[in-house]
Amino acid sequence: VKALILAGGYGTRLSEETRSRPKPMVEIGGRPMLWHIMKMYSAHDVNDFIICCGYRGYVIKEYFANYSLHMSDITFDLEQNTVHICEERTEPWKVTLVDTGEGTLTGGRLKRVADYVGGEDEFCMTYGDGLSDVDI
Q: What are phi and psi of 115, to 5 degrees?
A: -65, -30
Q: What is the pLDDT, as a whole number, of residue 15?
A: 63
d(CA 43, CA 37): 10
Q: What is the pLDDT, as a whole number, of residue 16?
A: 66
Task: Per residue of the chain (136 residues), give pLDDT as tens.
Answer: 999 999 987 666 666 666 678 889 999 999 999 999 999 999 999 999 999 999 999 999 999 999 988 889 999 999 999 999 998 888 999 999 999 999 899 999 999 999 999 888 899 999 998 888 777 6
Residues 124/4, Cβ–Cβ less than 8 Å: yes
Domains of the chain: 2-127 (3.90.550.10)
Q: What is the DSSP string of the chain?
A: -EEEEEE----GGGHHHHSSS-GGGSEETTEEHHHHHHHHHHTTT--EEEEEE-TTHHHHHHHHHTHHHHHSEEEEETTTTEEEEEE----S-EEEEEE--TT--HHHHHHHTHHHHTT-S-EEEEETT-------
